[in-house]
Chains A and B, each alone.
Chain A
Amino acid sequence: MNSVSLGGSTTKRRSRRGGMSRNAGSDVKAAYLFIAPAVIGFLVFVGYPLIRSFYLALTKYNGLTDPVFVGLGNFRRLFTTDPAFWPALRATGYLVLLYVPLSLILGLALAMFCNQRFAGVRIVRTLAYLPVVLPAVATITLWKFMLDPQVGLLNTILDRLGLPTSLWLQGPSTAMPSVVLVMLWGVGGTMIIFLAALQSVPTELYEAARVDGAGPWSVFFRITLPMISPIVLLQVILQTTAALQTFNQPKILTGGGPGFSTNVLMLSIYNNGFPTLGRIPQLGYASAQVWVLFIIIIAVIALTAKFSSLWTYSDSTSD
């Protein structure tokens, strides 16, 4: 068996070598040329910064004078004396736990609604996706005005209806949920991917379920969800990664406050690297924080992927 197999493979190898002999050189060159922009781009914009930031994480560097090597000093300060680091981790974790499930549930619900056949469905889809294409800074700023506890639209409406108002972004306990509320405004992006997944589920499965007398919940949990579970996994990874790197919303809406309640890691990194006018940048320290965030992201993705087989459906016959 082995010899046949080996012999066969040798024959194939020979024939391939023979076939490639005329064009092999130019094909390889062309291949390298095609991948060169991506490789150069990766090396310049990812590879070098990656190495550089790791080096800077081991230095005291303010951007004004040469870096001074401090070993693991930045990490030691991060984990032992920095009063902002653990609250930043907590705020980031809270945001992920709040945002990821809500964005998935809301995105999927919207997608299922938009997957129905009714008059004006295209308009509904467009409206649901519209916030994604609007300039983020403009919409976030608008939300900030709407959430103002004193003159904001939301409290004005609540007040007119005789309902209790909220401090929204200015309350230590309501600030993060308010930030997540604004983030969910862009859930149309999640919806559109779910919509594509829903439309790829074979209709025969639904027809068969209907014939068997399955109800809507049964259809959802036994057909829809398993069939789109690989996309759900993709969304979990994408949304978690994005949530861990949230910056725009807390930066514009709260500046990280009140206290440290919305001071997520990315904002903390930015504030240390690019502090307000008059403060000296701590680029080495910020780089150390970046590496902590990087490791957290890798760990979360690895864990999600590891346990994904428990809940994602894969068609073993598809190979």
Chain B
Amino acid sequence: MTALACAGLLTATACSGGGSDSGGSSGGPVTVTVMTWESAETNAAIKKALADFKDDNITVQLLDTPAGNFGDKLASLTQAKKLPDLFWCGNDTEQQYTSQGLLVDWADKIKNADGDFTADKFVPSAMENWKTADGQMGGLPSLMNTYGVWYNADAFTAAGLPLPKAGWTWDEMYADAAKLAGKNGAKYGLVADQLTSADGPFTMSMYSVSAGGAPFTDNVNHPTKAEADEKYTEGVEKLVAAIKNGSVAPPGYDAANVQSLFSAGKVPMTFGGQWLAAGFQTDKPKIKYGFAPFPQVQTPTTIADSVGICTPQYTKDQDATFKVLEYINTKVWDAVLPASPVAPPAYTPAQTSYFDALTKAQQTTVVDTVKADLAAEKTVGNRFTTQWAQQVGDLTTANYQPILSGKKPISDLPAYIDKINGLIKQGG
């Protein structure tokens, strides 16, 4: 009964109507509300920076919300039709909400913008990913996520291994992981949640694409097919072998504490995003560490991902909202990133403050890797952004992860791919 009541109550909110809390009307005084998923400290810095926004008719209000469970908040606010005028959103949220007609399309606005805030000033791959199949942009990318391998330099030196650097190979990575596993309190040589979690099949595309093969899917936003070609299968085989010999953490490994375990020297290598650098500045690891690009087979290949800022259709004054959006992208990062260099802005002129902060903090390997990632010629998406993406996750848990764990044979890979293609066909 409790279960029923809960579900009913949660869904009942859909009945409520309403609109944005923004006051004012077009042409008159207006309040533009902003909601982020940032920490209290970062929000304080954003608030301070937003205080310098000057426009007689526009008041900017940063909503005080705890950082956790942003997805739940977003879902509730969406159902209640109370989304703030500007809210932090992922690429997948932007794609899904835009396809439902929930967001303001900024494509023309940014294309025809005057001055410095123009489409060509953004990282091209991010702008491309934020377009829907019919060319709409339900938001603008704000920060880039780049990924690579965080390594414990002390552990590598102690094991007599060369430090990972651009151009290192997948075989070298697995060989290093095998040598580092089981030493100095480290159970595994490599924790690669991105390879073994529900996003794993997409991450594996880096191997196949780098080897000249095909990615797992042709497009994460509007896919027409999934495939596991010869090169892809080869990549899976190598991962399965590495998991089997205990050098790579298997699916099911709880990566929630991997950052602190890495800092404590108990995880020699871990896949991760550049944002860990900001955390390492405040909670300094006990070890010497570095950040290397993902390994390659032939061609450097990485994961492309960005987060951004979206606006609901019912925002009261689109011009006012766009002005604040422009201010955040062009001015706010300069004020926020020096204290917390969490990610490079998608708006390229604002990237200087990010790289300067990292250089000042002597995080040179992070600077090099992030720059290499942003310039990478070949990129792959890290998950489907479609409405049925959740079902792909379940299929991956049921079919792909058991292959990695060795509970199902690799020959089951085509059957898994067939099921994904069934979903694509159904969803499309």
Contact = CB atoms under 8 A, between A and B. Distances in A.
Interface string A118-152: 00000000000000000000000000000011110
Interface in A56-92: 56, 61-65, 82-84, 87
Given A169-B254, A258-B252, A274 B12 contact: no
Contacts of B306: none
Interface size of A as a range? 35 or more
A275 B390 contact: yes
Nearest to A49: B8
Given A65-B100, A257-B252, A52 B11 contact: yes
Interface stretch (B66-74, B276-284, B370-378): B66-74
A53 B2 CA distance: 12
Nearest to A46: B5
A286 B7 contact: yes
Nearest to A286: B7
Contacts of A293: 3
A259 B397 contact: yes
B257 A148 contact: yes
Given A170-B252, A293-B3, A84 B11 contact: no
Taking each of B6, B250, B385, B389, which has the highest tally of chain A beta carbons within 10 Å of its own beta carbon? B6
A64 B70 contact: no
Contacts of B90: 277-278
B71 A278 contact: yes
A110 interface: no
Nearest to A291: B4
A280 interface: yes
A259 B389 CA distance: 17
B361 interface: no
A278 B1 contact: no
Contacts of B93: 277-278
Contacts of A269: 3, 7
B2 A48 contact: no
B402 interface: yes
Given A49-B8, A283-B11, A266 B3 contact: yes
Contact of B251 (A63, A259, A276, A294): A259
B49 interface: no
A274 B3 contact: no
Nearest to A244: B3
A63 B79 contact: yes
B421 interface: no
Contacts of B71: 274-279
Contact of B8 (A50, A65, A261, A274): A50
B317 interface: no
Interface residues of B, number: 54
Given A277-B70, A294-B1, A63 B11 contact: yes
Interface in B92-137: 92-93, 96-97, 100, 102
B152 to A, nearest CB: 15
B257 A45 contact: no
A273 interface: yes
Taking each of B5, B90, B100, which has the highest tally of chain A beta carbons within 10 Å of its own beta carbon? B5
B74 A151 contact: no
B187 interface: yes
A191 interface: no
Interface string B1-35: 11111111111101000000000000000000000
A180 B187 CA distance: 26
Interface in A260-303: 260-261, 266, 269, 271-283, 286-287, 290-291, 293-294, 297
A172 interface: yes
Contact of B390 (A87, A272, A297): A272
Nearest to A64: B100
B252 A63 contact: no
Given A63-B79, A64-B97, A279-B92, A87 B398 contact: yes
A48 B12 contact: yes
A151 B72 contact: no
A284 B408 CA distance: 32
A65 B397 CA distance: 28
Interface string A38-53: 0000000110111111
Contacts of A282: 390
A245 interface: yes
Given A245-B3, A278-B90, A62 B387 contact: yes
Closest 6 CB pairs of A and B: A49-B8, A258-B252, A277-B71, A278-B92, A83-B398, A53-B8
Given A62-B100, A261-B252, A287-B7, 9 more contacts: A46-B1, A46-B4, A49-B4, A84-B398, A245-B2, A266-B3, A272-B390, A278-B93, A279-B71
Interface of A: 45-46, 48-53, 56, 61-65, 82-84, 87, 148-151, 169-172, 175, 245, 254, 257-261, 266, 269, 271-283, 286-287, 290-291, 293-294, 297
9 contacts: A49-B5, A56-B11, A64-B79, A84-B398, A150-B261, A257-B397, A269-B3, A283-B11, A290-B7
